[in-house]
Amino acid sequence: MATQRILDFLATRRPSGPCLVVDLDVVRDNFRAFEKALPDSKIYYAVKANPAPEILRLLAAMGSSFDTASVAEVEMAMDAGALADRISFGNTIKKERDIARAYQLGIRLFAVDCVEEVEKIARAAPGARVFCRVLTDGEGAEWPLSRKFGCVPAMAVDVLRHAKGLGLDAYGVSFHVGSQQTDLTAWDRALADAKVVFATLAEEGIVLKMVNMGGGFPTRYLRDVPAAQAYGQAIFSALRKHFGNALPETIIEPGRGMVGNAGVIKSEVVLISKKAANDNVRWVFLDIGKFGGLAETMDEAIRYPIVTAHDGTETAPCVLAGPTCDSADVMYEKTPYPLPLSLTIGDEVLIEGTGAYTTTYSAVAFNGFEPLRSYVI
C-alpha cells in the first residue's frame, strides 16, 4: 500500500524515472508484529529481500538479527550495527574462503545441507555451530524454492552426525517452506521432519537445540493474506504438537513479510499499442520490467497491485511489458492485466508491495537503463 508518507514524498520530490520508495514506519510495524506473533522466536531478517542501509540500521536498532548469504551481506549487517553473534551465514552454498572470512569477522552460525559443506566449515570455521537444512515440498507457496536447498531428513541426520564428529557444534535443523507461503499448515509438515531429525540424533546422544523455521511470510498483493498473528498461532501449535514440552530454540527469517508491503514503485507508461487494428488486448509498456527490478513476475508468479489515477473507471485486459529490447521482458501475458481504458501514454502508475526482491534484482545497465533507484523514508 502507498502510505501517505510515500504519496507525499512522490508529490513533493517528483523523482524522475522509475523508483522504489520504502516507508520505514511500515518496516517498524512489521518487525513489531513478528515479535508479537512469535514472542519466543528470534528474528533473523533475510538481508537479500532488501539490504538498504536504512532498513538494516532500523532493524539492528530494534534488536533484529540477520540472515546473510555472502560475506558482503555479513559486512552490510555489521555496518548497520549488528554484532557478529546476531548474524547467521544461512546460504548452504559457500566458498571455503568466504566461510573463513566470515569466521574471522566473528560469525559462528552456518547453514549446511550436505557433508561436503560440513567439511569446508570444519576446516574454515572450527567449532562453529551448524544447522542442517531439510527439503520442503514448497506446496502452497507462490514462489517455491524447489529442490535447490536442503536434503531429506534421513540425510540431515548423517550430516549433523558428521559435523559433530569433526568437532563442530551440531546445533539444529532449518527449513524454508517457500516464499509467499499462504498455507498456514506448511510449517506443521516441516516441523514434523525437524522433529524426526531431533529424535533420531537424540538416541545417539546428540542433542540438537534449535529449529530455524525460515521465511515464507507473505505480503499482500492482489489477494488478502493471513496476518502475522495467524502464522504465529499455527506455528506455535505445530511446535507444541511435535516437540511437546521440550520446545527447541526457534528462529524465523522473514524477508518478504518484513519489507514487501513497505515499498511502492513509481513507474510511467511509455507506450500503449496493439498488434493489429482489431486486437482487443492492448500492450502497455512501462519504464520498468523484469530487468528493472520486477524479476518476480517470472512465470507470472508474483502479481503486483497496480494503481492508476483512473481507477474505478472501465477496464480492459492488457499485456504488461517492460521497456527493454529483450522479448522475455513481458510481465503479464498468459493472464492479462485489467487496466483502465482511459490510461494514456505518460501516465504514472504505482506498483504496490514492491519493497522486497526488487532493487537487488535490478540489472546494472541493460540497454543503458540505470538500476532501480530507491528512496528509504
Ligand X SMILES: *Cc1c(COP(=O)(O)O)cnc(C)c1O
Candidates 18, 51, 90, 353: give the one binding ligand X (CB under 6 A): 90
Measured from the CB atom, is 49 or 265 closer to ligand X?
49
For position 51 contacting ligand X by CB under 6 A, the verdict is no
* List 64, 68, 136, 179, residue binding ligand X (CB under 6 A): 179
CB of 31 to ligand X, least distance (A): 13
134 and 117 Cβ atoms separated by less than 8 Å: no
Task: Quote the distance between the C-alpha of residue 233 and its chain's center.
Answer: 21
At its nearest, how many Å lie between ligand X and the CB of residue 251?
9
SS3 367: helix
Q: Tell me whether residue 121 or residue 320 sits nearer to ligand X (CB atom).
A: 121
48 belongs to the binding site for ligand X (CB under 6 A): yes
Task: Report which of 271, 345, 332 is spatially closest to residue 306, judged by C-alpha positions.
Answer: 332
Estimate to the nearest angstrom the gap between the alpha carbon of 43 and the chain centroid.
Answer: 13
Contacts of 181 (CB under 8 A, 6+ apart): 140, 141, 142, 216, 217, 218
Q: Least distance (Å) from ligand X to the CB of residue 136?
A: 12
Decide if 114 is catalytic: no
Grid coordinates given for 117? 559443506
- 299-311 exposure pattern, b = at least 16 Cβ within 10 A, e = fewer: eeebbbbbebebe
Closest CA to 150 of 90, 107, 66, 99: 90
Shortest gap between Cβ of 68 and ligand X (angstroms)?
9
Should residue 216 be labelled a site residue for ligand X when binding is judged by CB under 6 A?
Answer: yes
Q: Judged by CB under 6 A, does residue 42 bind ligand X?
A: no
Site for ligand X contains 215 (CB under 6 A):
yes
The residue among 327, 227, 313 whose CA lies nearest residue 285 is 327
- Residue with smallest beta-carbon separation from ligand X: 215
What's phi and psi for 220, nearest 5 deg? Answer: -75, 120
Bridge partners, 264 (sequence order):
21, 352
Using rule CB under 6 A, residue 46 touches ligand X: yes
- The residue annotated as part of the active site, out of 19, 114, 151, 325, is 325
255 touches ligand X by CB under 6 A: yes
321 in contact with ligand X (CB under 6 A): no
Q: Which residues bind ligand X (CB under 6 A)?
A: 46, 48-49, 67, 90, 176, 179, 214-217, 253-257
| Active site residue ranges | 325
